[in-house]
Amino acid sequence: MEEKIIDPMDSRGFVLLSDYVPGIIQEIRYFSSYNFIGERITGYEEPCAIVTQEAARALQNVAAELNAQGFRLKIYDAYRPASAVKHFALWGVDDLDQRMKPFFYPDLEKQELFEKGYIAKRSSHSRGSTVDLTLFDMNSGKEVDMGSPFDLFSQVSHPDYKGISDEQYENRLFLQKTMVKGGFDTLDCEWWHFTLHGEPYPDSYFDFPVSSKVLNHS
């Protein structure tokens, strides 16, 4: 069968996640300067989470289950343009730029971030069905304590890391189990990272900007 060629600028299969999960909290880190590079990342034109329609439907179900238990989803990143991934790679070869090292990769050198799988030169996020997220406790009004912050590139952030408190470990386990039940696969080095199982574009890497404007299809 002839392979279908997909235009990397074609956003027709994508939606705003907030249209499907109105209660989702969005802190799109790569739109801000508070990330491991320290500046807004190429391709992030708006602080909004964009995903494939299939991933949005799955997250809608996950969010409904969590809401019933007093939690909301908080999302840090979703679809990531290929140009943003290129920005990461170019930063990775600039040895002089270490401004965010104390906060995000205190124990590793830049090249190790790529070698150990924390940063990919081709990211699943660019396929549109991967999300980085955590839980927000509606009773306490705070993020659930996961034992390490988002994008801390360290062994401490591995989902199965045992050197944290029992409560923190249980919180990670609860998030992982809920997301897996909702149809997502986990990543062994980041507790916050999930990819839709059976994603619709497993071999396509998109490059349209993160902007609600690109989703206004006629």
Q: Write down the catalytic residue from 3, 54, 190, 199.
A: 190
pLDDT of residue 2: 45
Give CATH for domain 14-215. Answer: 3.30.1380.10
- The position carrying tokens 């997909």 is 6
Q: Across all residues in the chain, what is the average pLDDT?
A: 95
Lowest mean pLDDT among 54-58, 67-71, 91-95: 91-95
Residue 115 known to be catalytic: no
What's the whole-number mean pLDDT along residues 142-151? 98
State pLDDT tens for residues 153-201: 999 999 999 999 999 999 999 999 999 999 999 999 999 999 999 999 9
> With 50 as the cut, is the pLDDT of residue 218 above it?
no
pLDDT of residue 1: 44
What's the whole-number mean pLDDT along residues 32-37? 97
Q: Give the start-to-end residue ranges of the domains of the chain.
A: 14-215
Q: 182 vs 79, 104, 176, CA distance in Å?
A: 18, 29, 10
Q: How far apart are CA 203 and CA 135, in angstroms?
A: 29
Terminal CA-CA length for the chain: 31
Q: 211 vs 83, 84, 141, 169, 194, CA distance in Å?
A: 14, 13, 29, 35, 22
